[in-house]
Amino acid sequence: MKRSIATVSLSGTLPEKLDAIAAAGFDGVEIFENDLLYYDGSPREVRQMCADLGLAISLFQPFRDFEGCRRDRLARNLDRAERKFDLMQELGTDLVLVCSNAAADSVGDRQILLDDLSLLAERAGARDLRIGYEALAWGRHVNTWQQVWDLVRHIDHPNLGVLLDSFHTLSLKGDPSAIAQIPGDKIFFVQMADAPILAMDVLEWSRHFRCFPGQGEFDLPGFLAPIIESGYTGPLSLEIFNDGFRAAPVRANAADGFRSLLYLEEKTRERLLQQAAPAPVLEPLFAPPKASDYDGIEFLEFAVDESQGAKLTHWLERLGFSKVGQHRSKNVSLLRQGDINLILNAEPYSFAHNFFEAHGPSLCATAIRVQDSASALARAVAYKGQPYRGLVGPNELELAAVRAPDGSLIYLVDKDAAGKPFYESDFNLNAASTPQAGLKRIDHMAMALPADSLDSWVLFYKSLLDFEADDEVVLPDPYGLVKSRALRSRCSSIRLPLNISENRNTAISHALSSYRGSGVHHIAFECDDLFAEVSRAKEAGVPLLDIPLNYYDDLAARFDFDDEFLSELAYYNVLYDRDANGGELFHVYTEPFEGRFFFELLQRKNGYAGYGAANVAVRLAAMAKSRSGAARQAKL
Amino acid sequence: MKRSIATVSLSGTLPEKLDAIAAAGFDGVEIFENDLLYYDGSPREVRQMCADLGLAISLFQPFRDFEGCRRDRLARNLDRAERKFDLMQELGTDLVLVCSNAAADSVGDRQILLDDLSLLAERAGARDLRIGYEALAWGRHVNTWQQVWDLVRHIDHPNLGVLLDSFHTLSLKGDPSAIAQIPGDKIFFVQMADAPILAMDVLEWSRHFRCFPGQGEFDLPGFLAPIIESGYTGPLSLEIFNDGFRAAPVRANAADGFRSLLYLEEKTRERLLQQAAPAPVLEPLFAPPKASDYDGIEFLEFAVDESQGAKLTHWLERLGFSKVGQHRSKNVSLLRQGDINLILNAEPYSFAHNFFEAHGPSLCATAIRVQDSASALARAVAYKGQPYRGLVGPNELELAAVRAPDGSLIYLVDKDAAGKPFYESDFNLNAASTPQAGLKRIDHMAMALPADSLDSWVLFYKSLLDFEADDEVVLPDPYGLVKSRALRSRCSSIRLPLNISENRNTAISHALSSYRGSGVHHIAFECDDLFAEVSRAKEAGVPLLDIPLNYYDDLAARFDFDDEFLSELAYYNVLYDRDANGGELFHVYTEPFEGRFFFELLQRKNGYAGYGAANVAVRLAAMAKSRSGAARQAKL
């Protein structure tokens, strides 16, 4: 399909926007009137700029408050339209968006609406221009696509057609399915916008909270599918009013927009396939290689130097890991426990080394187990992911990899080739070294991200890897709020809670400033007997995050625990949560390693599926206290 | 009255909050349960900390989902209550907030509610504790104060009383007037919160958008007046859930909270006076000296050094100002035009010099004309304003002054003493120098503020000076959004639009970073014939902000102007706005002085009262273009 975006969706001056739109791969652009008004160049210059960039001007917008206007204003409104038609002809676009009248003094009489729109269509037709008529959700008399189609069908003028915008229908919980019955050539234009579901005034919601498809909660494939069925062949265009987008880096955001349309097309294709739509209907939609099933995390790779590597090894050994291998040719070691493989990379002149130089000790790569790495990589590249090829020495397996949004790597490791063959080809394995403790697998990895990058991360994982995103949770830190949104692979073998904070002094903001960018916040290891693991860790000298006794007094008030059990929880600083279905979580946190990332040990019972959100506030408060203690010590 | 605040209203750890609450002058504190849970010390230690700070623990809160709970949970809920009663006794407080049950499975049967609350009152009474029962706006069955009072009256237990929270009543548009009929001693506690009027889910609104009295839009005097009439003598307490407050500097925010209660008391006193309430009823309420009437701005004082002073003088002379005086003993000069006096202060070892060192060339003082400077200063001090006394040399008048929130000074100049006497005592006036141009008075001064300080500024001007605040307007900059809220003296002789932006690259954020703090953004001068003034300014070489021609094409489409008039507007870069009543604004902007503040020349017609909000976006876009041009030139 042709892909387009409205200039209002992006930040910057008009030339900056157009550059970014062309670079992202769009075919066309909607010129939002204000972007033109504020630009210090003529419409003809804008036309030339677009032509030079290979962009069609697919639409000029908006033209407001026309049909059903107060009768004494009609002539003036027609003059206004002619002025804008002049401008469109200079711009070189033939289509204008006319949105339904929202003025309190407008009239809803059907015959007047028919007359006014006929008149406008006639005027446009005389100049070979076309009118796309759109229902605003807050239109005074016309606010559904059904009303628009009724008027357009009745007038039956070749220069008047329907303009559809997903937000205006889905925000009012409208049903798009019958759009399939509109003849495709009477749909002149389609705008796609997603949004979180918010209980608020619809105009405010529309003006400030729209987002790219896949970042919100609307069923957009359910909106687009009937449009495709109608035979519509025009562009799919993004019109996103979003306060954050108005300030976001324009190139990266335009690239996200393009990716979001690809994602929407894939999901719409899946929807149409379920409905057994014939192949020619599906043909225009983006069709990347199918996403993989996943089978958890094969290994995590940490960027360290010699000294930090030794410290981290010591930390991990106290957590029960054993060093089981040394790389054949590099300064890289392998630690293992249960199904968990951790690689510490201190090799100079490597990707990890560059990462260490930029961020200090940090997680620089995550290897996930896929069914077919070649296909997984092809999918990532089709979604404009950046593939990575590292140095490969003798005896080393080459791993397919793609860059995550923070610049770290995601290795795509073939499920069947995983485990033995990979480690044996790269490492000298020490069979004698058997881990003694009982941590079994990586449960989740939590990330700390800059506040404005959350949507971009969500879209990356949803599209390239076909992950799902849980709802956002808002949690109090003593110095502000933390927002968390968890991504997970279908079947949940990989879980990735993403955390942001708009406040300067929270745990998340401290992590960000320590990494000079986004980075891993903590890594959770699952086990079958938390008390055994935490007791072993405590004896080995792992510093555990201290939980206030008042927390346990409150547990006593909330749950029916005996005092002995509560004392044990308190002694080991174990946090507890129970879900509505009786699922239980026992979990404990370490102090951070070098003031950066930390570890969580956890045990899930009876299908507990969350992350202990009820305990995040007490954990953040304990972390704040620990930070201020560390800061005091550093001062002494 | 006793004044109190809930710990949840502030940022930080429990000890940080308590310190700030005591320093601000509060008598008591509500301990929010989570603040205790997350604190690493026993309830007894918290009790001692409060005692050492001279703070009463006025309330422990909240106890949730009790009355009408599922019958199989009642015994467990009573156990939970007893645990919390233990805790209260350790804390040394006798009052607990019980909020109405919000659980979906709770029951609303009146007899059950009566039974449950009686049982709880009985249990509390056995320990000499008291229950304050509060209606949550989203309570499942009980959500008004009338229902609460009905239950409390019927049970008639000495340990059960009404707890009132302004938000829960006013968010549902409830009527508080009949509260006056409740016996004052049956109201156990009063929480005051303001909020902006938002069309959104009431729970979300309550949890994230409350603010201090005077910062929002609720009629809080209308809520408090009947409470005072009831004979209530307990504390007035602030319970403010606000995302910004959770991250705000705790000391400054607590001080704002205290000031907001004083303001509320003054306004409630005025309300009760209007209702002819007897004097003893008014007695407990804060009664500062009455606010002044104002008569505009007497002068503005700029902090400069020799070189910047010469440049600014040259700038102002091109705008038609004349240097009419030189200070008798200081390096300070006076420029004048019409009713406008501008003082340029380059005196070393002065307040202005310190201000210049900190902020560069900037506005360091504003002198406003008041009826009685002594009384105005006393009022400011009663509201915890910081008075200022500067150096005074021979022949100099001493001016009363108070610090504005940005550290600049607000001089309070006696209306009758203003003008001649002041300038004659301080300056050698040059009678020969008569300004030639026609700027008449200072129309407004716009400020650029850090995003999180807007509420604090609003409260400062509302309380110390009794200014009014217009509604907030949101305006697009090419690189984000700008929010503007105008303050003005009653009768509008002084106007002060405040501007903030949460985005890094907007004009407002650039101004902030150039000032290293808040500062004046632009100063608007009013005249009777804008075209005459702008033509004179243009000839004199004043650099005017260039407005794109496309803006004038759009004016042509919107208004019935002839081409010649439009050309004149465009030639002089004059912007135009018209309000619904036919009021008209003509205005023009200069380029910024040294990349910092700039000037606006304007003419109001037919009672136009705004600031040209319709033209702010085109002005911000032109400023962005001008900045990037300046940046390009700086690079060459």
Query: In this complex, is the C-beta atom of A481 within 8 Å of any C-beta atom belonging to chain B?
Result: yes
Q: Which two tokens stand for residue A46?
A: 């804008």
Do the domain assignments include residue B434?
no
pLDDT of residue B56: 98
Cβ pair B550:A246 closer than 8 A: no
Residues 62-81 of B with CB under 8 A from A: 76, 79-80
Do the domain assignments include residue A434?
no
pLDDT of residue A392: 56
Q: Within 13 Å of residue B129, how many CA atoms lie on the same side as its CB? A: 29
pLDDT of residue A437: 81
Query: Which of A76, A557, A621 is nearest residue B84 as measured by Cβ atoms?
Result: A557
Work out whether the CA dihedral B624, B626, B629, B630 comes out positive or negative.
negative
Choose between B114 and B513: higher pLDDT.
Answer: B114
Give the residue-averaged pLDDT of A504-512: 91
Residue at a domain's end among B429, B454, B469? B429
Please check whether residues A381 and A463 belong to one and the same domain.
no
Residue A64's φ and ψ, nearest 5 degrees, are -110, 160
Residue at a domain's end among B396, B429, B462? B429
What is the residue-averaged pLDDT of chain A? 94
A251, A24 contact by CB (below 8 A): yes
Q: Which two tokens stand for residue B396?
A: 């100099």
pLDDT tens-digit profile of B151-162? 999 999 999 999
Query: Which of B478, B550, B628 is nearest residue A36 as measured by Cβ atoms?
Result: B550
Please check whether residues A145 and A20 belong to one and the same domain.
yes
Give the residue-averaged pLDDT of A365-371: 95
Please check whether residues A379 and A466 belong to one and the same domain.
no
Q: Is the per-residue pLDDT at B390 higher than 90?
A: no
Please check whether residues B414 and B467 belong to one and the same domain.
no
Which residues of B sit in the known binding site for a divalent metal cation?
Answer: 134, 165, 191, 239
* Set of chain A residues whose Cβ sits within 8 Å of the Cβ of B12: 478-479
Interface test with A, best of B9, B37, B49 (most A CBs within 10 A): B37
Do the domain assignments include residue A164?
yes
Cβ pair B247:A84 closer than 8 A: no
Please check whether residues B497 and B542 belong to one and the same domain.
yes
Do the domain assignments include residue A39?
yes
Query: In this complex, is the C-beta atom of A471 within 8 Å of any C-beta atom belonging to chain B?
Result: no
Strands B598-605 vs B584-589: parallel, antiparallel or unpaired: antiparallel
Do the domain assignments include residue A112?
yes
Give the residue-averaged pLDDT of B318-336: 93
Query: In this complex, is the C-beta atom of B539 within 8 Å of any C-beta atom belonging to chain A?
Result: no
pLDDT of residue A186: 98
Query: In this complex, is the C-beta atom of B557 within 8 Å of any C-beta atom belonging to chain A?
Result: yes
Query: Which of A43, A481, A551 is nearest residue B246 as measured by Cβ atoms?
Result: A481
pLDDT of residue B636: 63
Please check whether residues A278 and A360 belong to one and the same domain.
no
- For A274, other C-beta atoms within 10 Å of its C-beta total 10
Do the domain assignments include residue B382?
yes
Residues 200-259 of A with CB under 8 A from B: 200-201, 204, 243, 246-247
Cβ pair B550:A42 closer than 8 A: yes
Strands A439-448 vs A294-303: parallel, antiparallel or unpaired: unpaired
With cut-offs at 50, 70 and 90, classify the pLDDT of residue B394: low
Q: Within 13 Å of residue B258, how many CA atoms lie on the same side as its CB? A: 21
DSSP A494: S
The answer, yes or no, to whether the previous bond of A280 is cis (omega within 30 of 0) is no
With cut-offs at 50, 70 and 90, classify the pLDDT of residue B495: very high
Q: State the smallest CA–CA distance between residue A158 and chain B in angstroms.
A: 26
Query: In this complex, is the C-beta atom of A506 within 8 Å of any C-beta atom belonging to chain B?
Result: yes
Residue B411 sits in a domain whose CATH number is 3.10.180.10
pLDDT of residue B435: 65
Query: In this complex, is the C-beta atom of A505 within 8 Å of any C-beta atom belonging to chain B?
Result: yes
Please check whether residues A364 and A452 belong to one and the same domain.
no
Please check whether residues B392 and B265 belong to one and the same domain.
no
A171, A161 contact by CB (below 8 A): no
Please check whether residues B484 and B618 belong to one and the same domain.
yes
With cut-offs at 50, 70 and 90, classify the pLDDT of residue A37: very high
Strands B130-134 vs A28-32: parallel, antiparallel or unpaired: unpaired
Please check whether residues B379 and B264 belong to one and the same domain.
no
Q: Is the per-residue pLDDT at A466 higher than 80?
A: yes
pLDDT of residue A423: 86
Residue A317: exposure state from Cβ atoms within 10 A (0-12, 13-18, ≥19): middle
Please check whether residues B616 and B471 belong to one and the same domain.
yes
Enclosing domain of residue B406: 294-429
Q: Is the per-residue pLDDT at B621 higher than 90?
A: yes
pLDDT tens-digit profile of A405-443? 999 999 999 988 755 667 888 888 887 666 668 999 999
Cβ pair B38:A198 closer than 8 A: no
Q: What secondary structure does DSSP assign to B288-353, as a single string?
A: PPPPPPEEEEEEEEEE--HHHHHHHHHHHHHTT-EEEEEESSSSEEEEEETTEEEEEE--TTSHHH
3-state secondary structure B578-612: ECCCCCEEEEEEECCHHHCCEEEEEEEECCCCCCC
Cβ pair B560:A504 closer than 8 A: no
Closest CA to A98 of A114, A115, A121: A121
Q: Is the per-residue pLDDT at B432 higher than 60?
A: yes
Judged by average pLDDT, the poorest of A574-578, B328-332, B586-590 is: B328-332
pLDDT tens-digit profile of A380-415? 999 999 999 765 555 677 889 999 999 999 999 998
Q: Is the per-residue pLDDT at B630 higher than 60?
A: yes
Residue A440's φ and ψ, nearest 5 degrees, are -110, -40
Choose between A393 and B467: higher pLDDT.
Answer: B467
Q: State the smallest CA–CA distance between residue A551 and chain B in angstroms.
A: 5
Report whether A239 belongs to an annotated binding site: yes
pLDDT of residue A435: 65
The amino acid that residue A376 corresponds to is A
CB-defined contacts A:B, below 8 A: 139
Q: Is the per-residue pLDDT at A295 higher than 80?
A: yes
pLDDT tens-digit profile of A521-572? 999 999 999 999 999 999 999 999 999 999 999 999 999 899 999 999 999 9
Tokens 């007037």 belong to: B177
Residue at a domain's end among B254, B282, B310? B282
Q: How far, CA to CA in Å, does A264 sit from each of A237, A376, A462, A463, B93?
A: 12, 19, 11, 9, 58
% of chain A residues with pLDDT over 70: 97
Q: Is the per-residue pLDDT at B392 higher than 60?
A: no
Do the domain assignments include residue A289?
no
Please check whether residues A246 and A376 belong to one and the same domain.
no
pLDDT of residue B415: 87
Q: Is the per-residue pLDDT at B465 higher than 70?
A: yes
Q: Which residues of B389-427 are buried (b: 16+ CB within 10 A; e: fewer)?
A: eeeeeeebeebbbbebbbbbbbbbbbbeebeeebbeebb
Interface test with B, best of A36, A38, A96, A483 (most B CBs within 10 A): A38
Total domain count, chain B: 3
Do the domain assignments include residue A287?
no
Cβ pair A480:B204 closer than 8 A: no
The widest CA-to-CA distance across chain A, in whole angstroms, is: 93
ipTM entry: 0.91
